[in-house]
Amino acid sequence: MMRFSSLGSGSSGNATLVEAGDAARPTRLLVDCGFSLRELGRRLGARGVEPGQIDAVFITHEHGDHVGCALTLARRHGVRLCMSAGTWAALGQDDAPASLHLMACGDMLDIGALQLKPFAVPHDASEPLQLRVHDGHHHLGVLTDLGEAGDEVAQALAGCDALLLEANHDRELLQSGPYPWFLKRRISGRLGHLENSLAAALLQRLHHDGLRHVVAAHLSRQNNRPDLAAQAFATALGTCAQDIVVADPAQGCGWLDLH
């Protein structure tokens, strides 16, 4: 069985916990780690996990709401740290932890019961990657922080049994909101963040009978609302908004099982 839980998703911090394998000693992966070590420990603890029980952290890109305490976690607990060479260079660190593993689009890496396969996305970062995770039976796709989702992104996530997808903003709320024009252009541009209707269009392409769970993630507090994101996803899937899980910035979401 594989299961996953968002620990929180938004500009204040992002992390997704994935577990698979032997129930007595499952493989545990964090996709991003955008919190302080103390806060990460609190959020993990709410799910019955300690920081030292994490086997690996995959960092999608160098922005602070995704990196957080990753380096401290790697050095203190020996956790394997995975990211692109561009992300590592952008962090500006002289002393690489022994557990650092650099990956590129299309690479595959086995960590315990999980196989990681990163893919490239357009975002204003140095070699950003997102991730497909496989436990030998089921596939989870994690996709946040991108301005557009073209054919290559859709192909990278085709056939996933569960998806955590960015629904960052509502176009009208962003345009009518208080942000300065340059920031609105950055958020809505090709290297920015995915808005509800574009995320829903991607979800419609990825929908298939075996899709078990869909989580709307990385919602902007200022430029989106959970009900708008849920309704956009529900319309794409032909279901009710109540069937869509929305990851809360502060609480994330509970465990979602794939078995």
pLDDT top residue among 94 and 133: 133
Reported as a pLDDT band with limits 50, 70 and 90, residue 72 is very high
The pLDDT assigned to 49 comes to 98
Strands, sheet with 56-58, edge to edge from the N-terminal-most edge strand: 100-103, 80-84, 56-58, 27-31, 15-20, 2-8, 256-258
Average pLDDT of 1-11?
97
Average pLDDT of 102-120?
98
Reported as a pLDDT band with limits 50, 70 and 90, residue 118 is very high
Q: 215-248: per-residue pLDDT in tens? A: 999 999 999 999 999 999 999 999 998 889 999 9
Domain range enclosing 47: 2-258
- Please check the confidence at residue 19 and state whether its pLDDT lies above 90: yes
Q: How many residues does the chain have?
A: 259
CATH number for the domain harbouring residue 158: 3.60.15.10
The pLDDT assigned to 75 comes to 94
Q: How many helices (H) and strands (E) does the chain have?
A: 9, 14
Position 102: which residue type? L
* Distance separating alpha carbons of residues 126 and 245, to the nearest angstrom: 30
Q: How many domains does the chain have?
A: 1
* Distance separating alpha carbons of residues 88 and 29, to the nearest angstrom: 19
The pLDDT assigned to 82 comes to 99
The pLDDT assigned to 217 comes to 98
Model-level pTM?
Answer: 0.97
The pLDDT assigned to 242 comes to 87
Please list the alpha-helical segments (H only) found in 99-258: 151-157, 171-176, 181-188, 196-206, 226-237
